[in-house]
Structure 1
Amino acid sequence: MRASLPCLTAAALLAFCLAPTTVATAEPYATSDAPLALTPPMGWNNWAHYMCDIDEAKVVANADALVSSGLAAKGYDTVTVDDCWMAKSRDPEGNLVVDAQKFPHGMAWLGAYLHAKGLKFGIYEDAGSLTCERYPGSGSPEGGGPDHYAQDARQFASWQVDYVKMDGCNLWVPPGKTKEQAYRDAYGAVSEGLRASGRDMVLSASAPAYFQQGEWGGSDWHKVLGWVGETGQLWREGKDIKVYNPAAPATSRWSSVLGNYGYNRWLGRYAGPGNWNDPDFLIAGAPGLTEAESRSQVGLWAMMAAPFILSSDVARLTPAGLAALGNTDLIALDQDPMGRQGAVLSANATFEVLARPLANGDRAVAVLNRSGSARDISVPLTDIGLYSCTVDAKDLWTGRSTEVSTSLTGKVAAHDTAVFRLTPREGCGAPVPTGQITGNGARCADGVNTTGVGAVVLAPCTAAADQRWVLGPRESVRLSGKCLSAGEGGAVELAACAPGEPGQRWTHRRDGALVEDVSGLCLTAPATAATPDAPAERLRLSDCGDHRVDQAWSLPV
C-alpha cells in the first residue's frame, strides 16, 4: 500500500464526555513550541495527477495557477513535491541529492520561488529505508543501522521547507518489536528531528495507512490513530485516492472518493486544532468526477474538517470544480476554528446526514445522496438535535438563506451533497447530540427488535427512529425517552431513566470506548451474524480491552 499526504503535530484536543456539550478526552502532545496547523492545511500536491512524472516546471506552473486562479488567496497556499524528486543515492556525506534533470535550480531555489509568491513549500520523504518508489528514505536500512531523520530534517530546514509529508513504505521492524511499535518509534524520531531542526515544519504522517484493515479497521490501526497525533499535525489513515489515468481520463473516481470518506467519517474523536484526520487529496474539478461528485467531495471534506489539498492540473480544473473548491462558505466551514469534525447522524443505502458544531454556535448539516438519481430530502430539525427552534438555513452552494422551523427540504442531484449552515434564532436551546451510534462493521445500535423487551442489538443502519439516540443530561444515552442501562448478566437494555440510577451513566473515551461508569465495563458489539437470517445478538458489557474494534463507537455530535 502507498499512503499519501500530510500528517501530524499536536495541539490541544477538545475533551469529550457524554453530555450534550461534551465527549471524549485525551490531550495530544505538541511537537513544537509554536502550535502548528490550528486549522486543516490547504494547498496542492502532485501525486494523484502526475505521480512520478514531476519536475520543476510542473510544480512552478501549478503554483502559478494557484495564484492566478485566486485559490491561493483563499487559503490553498502549501505546494508539496511528492515522491521521485531525488536521485537514487545519497551523497558521500549522507545528504539527499536533488535530481538535477527534474529540478535544475534545486530545492532551495524552489522554496524561495514559492515564498516569493506568498506560498509555502512542502516536500516528501519516507520513514522507511526507501520511499514507496524506492528512492532513499530517512529510516534505518533493512537489518538495522543509522537513520537519517535528524539529518534530513536539517536539510529540509536549510531549504526553508514548511511542510513535510512523511510516508511509511519499507520500514524495518527490528527483532523483538511489533510493527506498531516500530512505526511509533520511527515517527517519534521524525518528530524529534523536525523539532530539533530549528524550523517549524508541519508534519503529515502516513503511519495509520499502513495498518488499515477495511473501513472499521483493526486493533493496531486504532492504536496508531491514538498516538500519531503526538508526532505531527495530520495523518493519512487509509487508502490513497484513485490517481488520474491519462490513458483513460474518463475513468470514474467516485467510488474512491466514497471509500476514503467511508473510513474517515467515524474518526472525529481524534480531530481538533493541530490534529487532523486526512482522507487524502481533493480531486474535485479533475477528470473522473462529475460536477455533482466534485461538490460532494468538497462538501464532505469540509464537514469532516479534512485538509483541503488539491492534486490536479490546477490550470485545467473545470469551472464547476473551481467554483466548488473556491466557495468561500465551504472553505470557512472546513477552517472553522473550533476544529470539531462532523459526525454521521443517520445513514441508509440512499442518504447520509452529517452534522458539525461550529465555533460561533452555528450548526452545519450535510445530506449526501448516494443514489444514481435526484432525490427530494426532508430532514427534521429534531433529527439533528435542534428542538423547538427556528433557524436561518443558508444553502452553502447557492448562498440563499431560508427561515426554517420544522425541516430542511430540497432536491439533491445524484451523487451530490447539500450543505447548510444553520444559525439558531433567539430562544433556541443548545443543540443536543442526536443520531445513530455506530459500531463494529459500520452497523448501528438499534433499540426496537424481537430479541427481547428493552433489548439493544447491532443492526444494519436504516436512519429509522429506533436508531436515533440522544446524548442526554448526566451522561445518559437515550432512545425514545428511555435510557441505555446496564442489565442482568452483562447485557445492556433500555429502561426508565432515573437520575442517579447506577448503570445509566456513560463516558465516551478518545479511543472510542463507551464505558459504563459504575462497573467500568465497555459496551461491546457482538460478532457479525453468520447468516442474514440469524437473530441479532444483544449488545453487552465486558472488560475493556486494548483498542478492541468491537468496543469502538462513533457517536453523534
Structure 2
Amino acid sequence: MQIRRLTRALLGKAAVLALLLPGVPAVMLTATAPPAAALDNGLAATPQMGFNDWNAFGCNVSEALIKSTADAMHSNGMQAAGYDYVNIDDCWMTSTRDANGNLVPDPAKFPDGITGTAAYVHGLGLKLGIYEDGGTATCAGYPGSLGHERQDAASFASWGVDYLKYDNCNNTGVSATTRYTTMRDALAATGRPILFSLCNWGQESVWTWGAPVGDSWRTTGDISAGYGSMLANFHANVGLGAFAGPGHWNDPDMLEVGNGMSTTEDRTEFSLWAEMAAPLISGTTITTASADTLGILTNRGVIAVDQDPLGKQGQLIANNGGLDVLAKPLANGDIAVALFNENSAAATISTSAAAIGKTGAAGYTLTDLWSGATGRTTGAISATVPGHGTVMYRVAGGSSGPIPSGVVSATGAGKCLDVPWGWTTPGTQPEIWDCNGGGNQVWTQTPSGQLTVYGAGSTMCLDAYNNQTTPGTKVEIWNCNGQTNQQWRLNSNGTITGVQSGLCLDVTGGSTVNGALAELWTCNGGSNQQWKLS
C-alpha cells in the first residue's frame, strides 16, 4: 500500500493509470483537464469542412480527380453548404526528392503540378489541401517530411496549399509532440495561413497537447466504411469534449457517408459527427454521389449544429444499453439533442428538457433536423429510433444552463471524491484525494438522483453497500440499477444524504489525508460531511 501511494504521489494519478491500466480509455482519466490555449493561426474557428480522396480512391489520386471533384462541389450545393477544402491525400509525389531535396509532384498524375491544381481550385472559390507524413516515409512509402519540415512547408506555401494533413507512419520513435510541433513552426514560418490537421491516430493522448500545435487532431485509428468502425470511432471520441473548441477540434476521422453503409447509418454518422463538433470531411466519390448522399452531406440544419460558433462538443448525458442521448449547447441558447440507437432493433429513446440543461419555460419547440417537422413539448423529448439510427432535434425556449456535472469536493478536507486508480470494478470504494481534474473525480447528478462517476453518460453509480442503512456502511461504485441505495440528495446545507438510509456521506474519522475512505454516517453537522458539486 505504501508503494502504491508513493508512486501515485510522485507520478500523478493519470500518468500511473496510463501505465498500469492500458485497457482503460484515456477519457476516463483526463476528460475534464482544462484544454491548452488554441493554435493562434486564425483558422478553424468552426470545424473544417471539405473533401479528401483517400477513403474512395486510395493511391489513385490525380489532378483530374481533384479538379472534377472541385467542379462537382462548386455546382452540387456542397460549396454553398460550407465545404471549402479539396484535399489531396497520399501518393501525389514521386518516390524520391529532387537533387535539391525538394518534394516533386508526380508529373503523370499532376501535369500542372500542385501549383496549377491549386490555381484551378482557388478559381472556384475553394481551397486546396495536401498530405504529408511526420516520418521518414508516408504510409504508402513516398518521401516523408521528418528532417525536411522547413523545406517542405516552404514548398507547400509556394504552391498555394491551404491545408496540411500530417500523418504518423515511419516516425522512427520520435515523439509526436516533437515532430508535430516542428512542422507547426515550419508552417508558421512561411507566413501563409495553412490549416494544420494532426493525423497521429489518437496516440500519445494527443487531445491533451494538440490545441497549441494543430487546428484538429485525430482521436482514433483509421475509419472504414462499416457501421462497427464508425461506432468504435464515435465511442473513442465522444468523451473528449473538454479538450475541443474554436481553433482546436477532436477529429474521429473522415466521413464514410456514401461509401456503403445504409442510408440510416449514413445519417447517424453525419448526426454524431455534427453533435461532436467534428470536422466534416467527405471521403466519398463526389462526382457520382447519389441524391441521398448529397442530401445528407448538405443538410443545413445538421451542419449548423456542427458549425455553431459557440464551439461546444456535444456531451453524452445518458447511455442505457446502447440507447444514447447527446446534448450540445448552441450559441443562441438552443440545445442540439441526438437520440442514437446503437442496437439493431428499433427502440424508444427518451430524455427531458431538464436533463439537457433547459429550464424556465412552459414549453419548448422541437425541430427535427432530418424531417424538418416542428412540435412543442412541456419537457419530454422522446422518439422511436430505428436500429443504428439517430433522431436529431434542435430544442428552443427557456433558459439553457450546464448539465449538472462536475467535481464532488469534500470542503472540510479541501480534496475531491475520487475512485482509486480510475478503477471501474464494482465494489471499489471512493476516497478523498487532491483534486487533479481526472475523470475518476467527475460525478454527474442524474435526473433520478444518482451520482455517476467518469462524467455524464457513465453507468457506474455511487452505491450504499448491499442496501445497508446503518452508520459505517461503506459506499462503493456499482453498476447503475435504479435502486434507492443509489439515489442521493444534494442538500442546501452542503450535505449529501442517501435516499434509502437518510445517512450522510462522510469522510471516515473526519480525516483530511489522501486516501481516507468515504462512508455513510449519522448526520452531525461535521466538516467531514460537507460536500460541493462544482
Q: TM over 0.5: same fold?
A: yes
CA distance in 2, matches of 1:149, 1:254: 37
Matching of residue 37 in structure 1 with residue 44 in structure 2: yes
| Partner of residue 384 from structure 2, selected from 411, 415, 421 | 411
Contact 1:31 / 1:191 at 8 angstroms: preserved in 2? Answer: no
Contact 1:375 / 1:411 at 8 angstroms: preserved in 2? Answer: yes
What secondary structure, in the 3-state scheme, does the structure 2 residue paired with 1:418 have?
strand
Number of the residue aligned with 1:164: 164
Matching of residue 58 in structure 1 with residue 65 in structure 2: yes
346-355 vs 312-321, greater mean Cα deviation: 312-321
CA distance in 1, matches of 2:164, 2:526: 51
Contact 2:319 / 2:325 at 8 angstroms: preserved in 1? Answer: yes
What secondary structure, in the 3-state scheme, does the structure 1 residue paired with 2:367 have?
strand
Shift of 1:346: 0.8
| Partner of residue 193 from structure 1, selected from 176, 180, 186 | 186
> Given the superposition, is the C-alpha separation of residues 469 and 237 from structure 1 closer, same or farther in structure 2, using an over 3 Å criterion?
farther
Structure 2 gap segments, 5+ residues each: 1-31, 405-444, 510-514
Equivalent position amino acid for 1:450 in 2: Y
Matching of residue 328 in structure 1 with residue 310 in structure 2: no
CA distance in 2, matches of 1:268, 1:475: 29
Number of the residue aligned with 2:247: 274
Shift of 1:431: 4.8
Identity %: 37
Shift of 1:238: 1.2
What secondary structure, in the 3-state scheme, does the structure 2 residue paired with 1:190 have?
helix
Post-superposition CA distance 1:451-476 (Å, at most 9, x none) = 56675544456799988999999999
Shift of 1:80: 0.6
Number of the residue aligned with 1:444: 459
> Given the superposition, is the C-alpha separation of residues 470 and 301 from structure 1 closer, same or farther in structure 2, using an over 3 Å criterion?
farther
RMSD of Structure 2 on Structure 1 (CA): 3.2
Shift of 1:74: 0.7
> Given the superposition, is the C-alpha separation of residues 459 and 296 from structure 1 closer, same or farther in structure 2, using an over 3 Å criterion?
farther
Within a 5 Å distance, the mapping from 1:490-501 to structure 2 comes to 490-492=516-518
Equivalent position amino acid for 2:150 in 1: A
CA distance in 2, matches of 1:29, 1:55: 34
Equivalent position amino acid for 1:445 in 2: M
TM-score for the superposition, normalised by structure 1: 0.73
| Partner of residue 261 from structure 2, selected from 289, 312, 336 | 289
Post-superposition CA distance 1:421-449 (Å, at most 9, x none) = 11123xx4635436574539x95330245
Post-superposition CA distance 1:288-332 (Å, at most 9, x none) = 211111110011001100000000001332322221211111000
Contact 2:56 / 2:259 at 8 angstroms: preserved in 1? Answer: no
Aligned residues: 445
What secondary structure, in the 3-state scheme, does the structure 2 residue paired with 1:490 have?
coil
Number of the residue aligned with 2:335: 363
Number of the residue aligned with 1:75: 82
Shift of 1:114: 0.6
| Partner of residue 260 from structure 1, selected from 233, 246, 250 | 233
Higher Cα Rg: structure 1 or 2?
2
What secondary structure, in the 3-state scheme, does the structure 2 residue paired with 1:383 have?
coil
Shift of 1:409: 2.3
> Given the superposition, is the C-alpha separation of residues 368 and 473 from structure 1 closer, same or farther in structure 2, using an over 3 Å criterion?
farther
Contact 1:445 / 1:456 at 8 angstroms: preserved in 2? Answer: no
CA distance in 1, matches of 2:238, 2:137: 31
Shift of 1:397: 1.0
CA distance in 1, matches of 2:45, 2:497: 34
CA distance in 1, matches of 2:495, 2:64: 58
Shift of 1:124: 0.3
Shift of 1:57: 1.4
CA distance in 1, matches of 2:481, 2:276: 22
476-485 vs 385-394, greater mean Cα deviation: 476-485
Matching of residue 94 in structure 1 with residue 106 in structure 2: no
Shift of 1:153: 0.6
CA distance in 2, matches of 1:110, 1:476: 66
Shift of 1:28: 1.7
Contact 1:268 / 1:304 at 8 angstroms: preserved in 2? Answer: yes
Within a 5 Å distance, the mapping from 1:128-527 to structure 2 comes to 128-139=135-146, 147-173=147-173, 182-209=175-202, 211=203, 221-222=204-205, 224-242=206-224, 253-284=226-257, 286-387=258-359, 389=361, 390-425=363-398, 428=399, 430-433=401-404, 435=446, 437=452, 439=454, 444-448=459-463, 450-451=465-466, 457-460=476-479, 486-487=507-508, 490-492=516-518, 504-505=531-532
Number of the residue aligned with 1:106: 113
> Given the superposition, is the C-alpha separation of residues 479 and 360 from structure 1 closer, same or farther in structure 2, using an over 3 Å criterion?
farther
> Given the superposition, is the C-alpha separation of residues 278 and 118 from structure 1 closer, same or farther in structure 2, using an over 3 Å criterion?
same
Shift of 1:483: 8.9
What secondary structure, in the 3-state scheme, does the structure 1 residue paired with 2:277 have?
coil
CA distance in 2, matches of 1:290, 1:413: 12
Contact 2:366 / 2:374 at 8 angstroms: preserved in 1? Answer: yes
Shift of 1:382: 2.9
Contact 1:55 / 1:102 at 8 angstroms: preserved in 2? Answer: yes
Post-superposition CA distance 1:503-538 (Å, at most 9, x none) = 62466xxxxxxxxxxxxxxxxxxxxxxxxxxxxxxx
Equivalent position amino acid for 2:252 in 1: P
What secondary structure, in the 3-state scheme, does the structure 1 residue paired with 2:96 have?
coil
CA distance in 2, matches of 1:72, 1:456: 56
Equivalent position amino acid for 2:39 in 1: A
> Given the superposition, is the C-alpha separation of residues 403 and 128 from structure 1 closer, same or farther in structure 2, using an over 3 Å criterion?
same
Contact 2:337 / 2:393 at 8 angstroms: preserved in 1? Answer: yes
TM-score for the superposition, normalised by structure 2: 0.76
